[in-house]
Structure 1
Amino acid sequence: MRGPRMDHPRRGIADPDLTFPEALLQLRDTIPTITNTQEVPISNPTITPYNTGLNGVNQPNNMLFTDILWWTLGGLGVLILLIRIGQLAWAKLRLVSAMNTKGRQQHFWKVKQWSWMPGLKRSLIYAPLWKKRHNREIQLSSAVNMGTLPSRLQAAVLLVYLGSNLAYMFVLDWQQANKYALCAEIRGRSGTLSVVNMIPLIIFAGRNNPLIGLLNISFDTYNLLHRWMGRMSVFEVLIHFIAWAVVQVADDGWEGVKHKILYDRFISSGTVGVVAMFVILVLSLSPVRHAFYESFLNTHIILALVAFICTWIHCVSATVHGGLPQIPWVLAIFILWGAERFARVIRLAYANRSSRGYTTATVEPMPGEACRVTMHLPRHIPVRPGQHAYLRFAGLKPWENHPFSIAWFEHTYSPSSLPTYSSSSSSSSEKHPPGTTPTSTTVSFIIGAHTGFTRQLYNTARASPLGALTLRAAFEGPYAGHHSFDSYGHVVLFAGATGITHQLSYIRHLINGCNDRTACTRRITLVWIVRDHEVLEWIHPYMEQILRLPNRQEILRIKIFVTRPKTAMGVNVLSTSGTVQKLPGRPNVVTLLAKEQDEQMGAMVVGVCGPGGLGDDVRGAVRGMQGLGTVVDFVEESFTW
């Protein structure tokens, strides 16, 4: 017996040949495919391909902008190198033509200058970013400050480099209809630029950076560039992570993000690297960095190494055949970092160990809360004026090392079986006595007690029952010293407190050079600002030697300004020779330099080493002297940390 008739599923009419159960079976066979498609969705082709790998990444543009960045840095370096070569050639010409000429006869070099140069110095080269402040710290409290402001020239370089990074990062296909493909392009661009910036970041961080001497750019300036390149690299890697997370959340939800971070080596290594770089950014903010600098420095190095290792793992574990194309760049980062660290080890081992033994240091507590540190090196180490070194002391946080300007150095000589000859360009303090060879070097420093390491050093020396402390130490250096004043007929040196250490070695060198006719210098004026008379004891043994140099009275003038004398002093204390003055209060820098300019002999250079406020005052006065008809250059020794 047939059941009720059903409409045929295709024809929509009753089929007399099918019973009701048969019609249900036929309908069932047409339903499962539709039902399964709705309940078990397949991967979304508009999202899934763009959460990893190079899908959607515009690799040709990435490489193009990478090359442009390389060429920008390389071109800037070549331009500065050409300027540096020109400066050296000009200084050498001035030195050769004037080193045998009396001061008043160096008139050609006193006034000869391109008409546009004074304006360039005043408006760009020596100019602060705004008004007067440059190296004077923006103080929040006695222990915390916001750092310093870049100069106008430094700000221009930073603006070009950082602005170009931002521009390259957002040159994208904004017409892309698929926003997840656009995120992939952003991810590729930002990740590429972040790794690109890590290479100059590492170069500029090293104290053995060969570009310091080659381009005559101070470590302080490279340190500034290092900080801003680091911030840009962190910003780009955060964009890189966010662009990946947006696609991953859309594809698999937050649980999918968590699963990949925990179990996918490619994603987990990248995430750890991002976290390490973000923590570096937070800790490097000026208030935090300045309040806990020594802890920050050690943590910074560890986190940077973690970030580099994670970046390498991230690149090599990518699903792309052969890994990501940034692998050679990451290897270059490790090579550069390792080479710089190796150079430090070699310097340490060479300077502090020889057949004569190890380096020892004598630490004497001085009035005015300072130490005079004399390091006895077991071998001869050449030292130039204006150099500094990094010091370590056994038993006083030996894992830490800090830079200090070299105040004085002496070489010890012993009989030699071979004849030795003096270089005609060396000062008499560097000459070998006949028939001798240098065997060891003594280097001295004045270290003011502030906080942390320097305070501990002073307190330990002061507590010594012998009145001085002798301990094992390590000397790394010397570094810097790339400014030469030999071609200037007139040298004016400003020093604030322990900043005198940087100027002392120049004074001895230039007086000897004048006597030997290896330097043009015929007039030196030293202006030293101190709080009280007692700090004069810091440099007493060194100044005694300087004052006994031949022709010193004709060359050197010393003005000491005592700002907070503990005892009454005369208005103007003058030495019997009339060349050393002690005056109360602070100097009027503008008036002092105006007098020096009136008596100028040949080209003049003004150098300053001291607190940032003093440096800014001297800088402002030198800028005001530009365009008044004479050549006046400016050199500042500073370390903004």
Structure 2
Amino acid sequence: MASLNEVDHQLLPRQHIQDHDSANAVKHYWGYPDRVIPCTNDKGSCEYLDGVYWMHTVSMLYTFIMWAVIGGILLVIVLARLFRPHRKGTGAESQKLKQGFLYRSWRSVASGCRRYLLPESLPRFFPNTTRLQIVILATICVYLTIFSLVGIVYKTWITPVKNSDKFNTRTGLGGFSDRVGALAYALTPLTIALSSRDSILSLLTGVPYQHFNFLHRWTGRIIFIQSFLHTLGWTIIEGKLYQPQPRVYVNFIKQTYMVWGIVAQILITFLYIFSTRWAIRLTGYEFFRKSHYVVAGVYLGACWGHWSKLACWMIAALGIMGIDLGLRILRVCLIHLGYKDGNKGLGFRAITSTVETFNDPSGTIVRLSFTHNHEPWSIGQHFYLTFPALSIWQSHPFTTASVPPTALVQPTHTYIIRARKGETARLAALTQAGSGERRGVCETPVILIGPYGCGVVDTEASNLLGIAGGTGISFTMPIITAALTNPPSLTQNIEMIWIIRHTENLNWIAPELLSLKTRLESCASSVIDEEMPKEGNVGVRRVRGKRFIIRIFVTRSPETISATAQRAQNKTISTKDLEISSASSSVSASPSGNQDLQELLRPHENFSITYLDHTHPNISSIVNDFIDDTVSSGRTQVVASGPAELGTDIRSAVAARNNAGGVWRGDERCDVACVWDDRMG
């Protein structure tokens, strides 16, 4: 094992021109080799060393400042969440009370931020990304750019090479290269934290971990750029500016810490290339996910080997990865370890689930259901599912379409999954092994990991608008159901919008949708209309009890309508018994022979189906109509999930309805929150 002096001598080339053997004393520097005192070299070399060590000291200071700023921001967010002012009173009672200064200030700031930071910008470069995320990324880039350039000694020294007629060119390039390398090291723990499922950032901020993925990708790219600049800088210095060549560069590149540096640069390049969209499409998502995790761990080790004096950043990053992996294993054990059936003792138990497929013009949809005894989750959270019958090496995130139990009963899970390529396609294929009445239905074991994410229910919102596109109903329906069924819920005005391609898509959640439809009667009977004076002698409706409406939009109706109308003539139910509105023309339809679908298509004043001719509903009009026509008091929460384009429209519509000045004046209709989830299953 090498002694300490031997290790130091291995770093002598990295210390440029210092001679430890002739040193009277050494000065210790955190994160850098010790400096020989006094300097016995020529004047230019000594001035250069003064600049190098000063730049290093400033670099360390900047890394500490960066984390002090991050810690300060997180502290402010935590304190704001803990001491957030709440609305006085509940429901209509709050309208009679003058809300306090702090509450109005808080809500005004929140509304103003949503108006300007919620919409998407620069879609060509940042598709489906809010302005808030872009602003955060821009702030990080500006900080790193400024502090990479400030505090650099911009000077050149031409110094003689001993026992030679050649000269070295010494500049501030070495200090700059070390600076970007140090900042890359300091940024690494943040990048790892932004990718963790059990995220400490989510715990502190209340923001679901998946919303950090954008910043994780871009901070990773920033680290790649920094490491490239660091490598390029020292390649120029050791391969060109120092003499004689090629001896200096050969001796430099053979050192152990440089070998690890080359390995680290190769690994970070691999991570960058294989995280691009075209590479993921080429190699598959599972290759990306597993290789990314393994290579990232090896990369952290290589960085540690490259410059162990700053290993603290790599230790922190490895610790975050280890905690995240450990908590995943713990979650699996808590859910699946227990006593097996038949007194077989303690062991691992997979969950038996029922899989049902729906084949319609929009593709194949899988409905997966099971009941298992474990702790309930918060509404809005999701689980990762593994199907051992297909592969134990893959897990996919899905949002459960069921509501967690409030009593001591076993939770029931329901998932609506679109069968695409790969694992979900093979899951749908399992059901084709049956025959007769069981064809399209089968059972398969499931391994459940979770829950992940954060709860999304706003207990102070009086109005709730849920908008779902396709399988996005898995996210919005539990929120709607909880608002209707939980007595403590303060939400009094509820509307559910579901945008589907074909009428047959109603079968995906027919039992749950029928249950919601039965509540329309009880909600309708509890509504009392009153006229409330307003400027211009205009009255608005004050809603007592719960107002609940379901609106379905079918975007590709012509084919479906013609088929169902033809079946109607073959005696299922008369088409004139169904009054279904259409944006283009009034069309009648009938159920497709399925009893649940037939019941769903029965007319009801608060349940409408609108057929659109290969168009999509205007999301801005839906949001505006809900707020203008039905909201008389209280804040509004819009919860939505579906295709990315739907998210773009919803963010824009909600942002336009927010107005900080209106909230300050007491008009809570100008305070509209938005929760978007783009995982559709």
Q: What range describes the TM-score normalised by the shorter chain of this pair?
A: 0.7 to 0.9
User: Does residue 567 in structure 1 map to residue 560 in structure 2?
Assistant: yes
- Structure 1 residue 519: Cα displacement: 1.4
Q: Which residue of 1 aligns with 2:311?
A: 327
- Which of 184, 190, 196 in structure 2 is aligned with 1:200? 190
Q: Which amino acid aligns with 1:370?
A: I
Q: Which amino acid aligns with 2:382?
A: H
Counterpart-to-counterpart distance in 1, 2:204 and 2:518: 36
- Which of 327, 332, 339 in structure 2 is aligned with 1:355? 339
Q: Kindly indicate whether the alpha-carbon contact (under 8 Å) linking 1:98 and 1:106 is maintained by their aligned counterparts in 2.
A: no
> What are the residue-to-residue correspondences of 1:47-446 with 2, within 5 Å?
56-57=52-53, 58-85=55-82, 87=84, 89-90=85-86, 93=87, 97-98=89-90, 101=92, 113=104, 117=109, 120-121=112-113, 123-130=115-122, 148-171=127-150, 172-177=152-157, 179-250=169-240, 251=243, 253=245, 257=249, 261=253, 263-290=254-281, 292-316=284-308, 324=309, 326-356=310-340, 357-368=349-360, 369-377=364-372, 379-409=373-403, 429-432=405-408, 438=409, 440-446=410-416
SS in 1 for 2:140: helix
SS in 1 for 2:194: helix
Counterpart-to-counterpart distance in 2, 1:218 and 1:65: 29
Deviations 1:224-243 (A, max 9, x none): 11111111111111122222
Q: Kindly indicate whether the alpha-carbon contact (under 8 Å) linking 2:619 and 2:650 is maintained by their aligned counterparts in 1.
A: yes
Q: Kindly indicate whether the alpha-carbon contact (under 8 Å) linking 1:406 and 1:445 is maintained by their aligned counterparts in 2.
A: yes
How many residues matched?
539
Counterpart-to-counterpart distance in 2, 1:578 and 1:640: 29
- Structure 1 residue 588: Cα displacement: 2.3
- Structure 1 residue 147: Cα displacement: 6.5
Deviates more, 1:570-579 or 1:167-176: 570-579
Q: Which has the larger radius of gyration?
A: 1
Counterpart-to-counterpart distance in 2, 1:362 and 1:640: 20
Q: Which residue of 1 aligns with 2:27?
A: none
Counterpart-to-counterpart distance in 2, 1:285 and 1:44: 37
Q: Which residue of 2 aligns with 1:539?
A: 509
- Structure 1 residue 162: Cα displacement: 1.6
- Structure 1 residue 575: Cα displacement: 4.5
Q: 1:473 to 1:582 in 2, by over 3 A?
A: same
Q: Which residue of 1 aligns with 2:607?
A: 580
Q: 1:118 to 1:246 in 2, by over 3 A?
A: closer
Q: Kindly indicate whether the alpha-carbon contact (under 8 Å) linking 1:148 and 1:640 is maintained by their aligned counterparts in 2.
A: no
Counterpart-to-counterpart distance in 2, 1:229 and 1:375: 39
Counterpart-to-counterpart distance in 1, 2:249 and 2:655: 57
Deviations 1:307-364 (A, max 9, x none): 1111122234xxxxxxx1x122221121111011101110111112222443222221
Deviations 1:251-309 (A, max 9, x none): 46457656755x53211111101110011111222332355322212221121112111
Q: Which amino acid aligns with 2:620?
A: V
Counterpart-to-counterpart distance in 2, 1:120 and 1:393: 45
Q: Which residue of 1 aligns with 2:489?
A: 519
Q: 1:106 to 1:539 in 2, by over 3 A?
A: farther
Counterpart-to-counterpart distance in 2, 1:590 and 1:160: 31
Deviations 1:441-467 (A, max 9, x none): 321111111222222222333344443
Counterpart-to-counterpart distance in 2, 1:252 and 1:371: 69
SS in 2 for 1:191: helix
Q: Kindly indicate whether the alpha-carbon contact (under 8 Å) linking 1:486 and 1:510 is maintained by their aligned counterparts in 2.
A: no
Q: Which amino acid aligns with 1:75?
A: G
TM-score scaled by length of structure 2: 0.73
Q: Kindly indicate whether the alpha-carbon contact (under 8 Å) linking 2:398 and 2:679 is maintained by their aligned counterparts in 1.
A: no
Counterpart-to-counterpart distance in 2, 1:63 and 1:301: 29
TM-score scaled by length of structure 1: 0.77
User: Does residue 612 in structure 1 map to residue 644 in structure 2?
Assistant: yes
- Which of 504, 517, 522 in structure 1 is aligned with 2:477? 504
Gap runs ≥5 in structure 1: 1-42, 139-145, 317-323, 411-428, 433-437
Q: Kindly indicate whether the alpha-carbon contact (under 8 Å) linking 1:500 and 1:609 is maintained by their aligned counterparts in 2.
A: yes
Q: Which residue of 1 aligns with 2:630?
A: 599
> What are the residue-to-residue correspondences of 1:9-20 with 2, within 5 Å?
none
Q: Which amino acid aligns with 1:345?
A: I
Q: Kindly indicate whether the alpha-carbon contact (under 8 Å) linking 1:448 and 1:454 is maintained by their aligned counterparts in 2.
A: yes
Q: Kindly indicate whether the alpha-carbon contact (under 8 Å) linking 2:210 and 2:453 is maintained by their aligned counterparts in 1.
A: no
Q: Kindly indicate whether the alpha-carbon contact (under 8 Å) linking 2:356 and 2:442 is maintained by their aligned counterparts in 1.
A: yes
SS in 1 for 2:172: helix
- Which of 498, 521, 525 in structure 2 is aligned with 1:528? 498
Deviations 1:561-614 (A, max 9, x none): 011123227535774431111111132223222221121042211121111111
Q: 1:490 to 1:575 in 2, by over 3 A?
A: farther
Q: Kindly indicate whether the alpha-carbon contact (under 8 Å) linking 1:496 and 1:614 is maintained by their aligned counterparts in 2.
A: yes
Q: 1:626 to 1:335 in 2, by over 3 A?
A: closer
Q: Which residue of 1 aligns with 2:9?
A: none
- Which of 531, 553, 556 in structure 1 is aligned with 2:548? 556
- Structure 1 residue 380: Cα displacement: 2.1
Counterpart-to-counterpart distance in 1, 2:449 and 2:14: 59
- Structure 1 residue 244: Cα displacement: 2.2
- Structure 1 residue 638: Cα displacement: 2.7
Q: Kindly indicate whether the alpha-carbon contact (under 8 Å) linking 1:46 and 1:180 is maintained by their aligned counterparts in 2.
A: no
SS in 2 for 1:605: strand
Task: Give the structure, 1 or 2, with the largest relative contact order (CA under 8 Å, sep 6 or more).
Answer: 1
- Structure 1 residue 48: Cα displacement: 5.8
Counterpart-to-counterpart distance in 2, 1:381 and 1:119: 35
- Structure 1 residue 120: Cα displacement: 1.7
Counterpart-to-counterpart distance in 2, 1:216 and 1:106: 31
Q: Which residue of 1 aligns with 2:443?
A: 470
- Structure 1 residue 197: Cα displacement: 0.7
Deviates more, 1:113-122 or 1:575-584: 113-122
Q: Kindly indicate whether the alpha-carbon contact (under 8 Å) linking 1:106 and 1:489 is maintained by their aligned counterparts in 2.
A: no
Counterpart-to-counterpart distance in 2, 1:271 and 1:45: 15
Q: Which residue of 2 aligns with 1:493?
A: 466
Q: 1:361 to 1:264 in 2, by over 3 A?
A: farther
Counterpart-to-counterpart distance in 1, 2:246 and 2:96: 76
Q: 1:246 to 1:118 in 2, by over 3 A?
A: closer
Gap runs ≥5 in structure 2: 1-11, 20-31, 35-48, 159-168, 341-348, 525-545, 566-579, 583-587, 589-600
- Structure 1 residue 510: Cα displacement: 0.6
Q: 1:106 to 1:219 in 2, by over 3 A?
A: farther
Counterpart-to-counterpart distance in 2, 1:531 and 1:520: 33
Q: Kindly indicate whether the alpha-carbon contact (under 8 Å) linking 2:461 and 2:490 is maintained by their aligned counterparts in 1.
A: yes
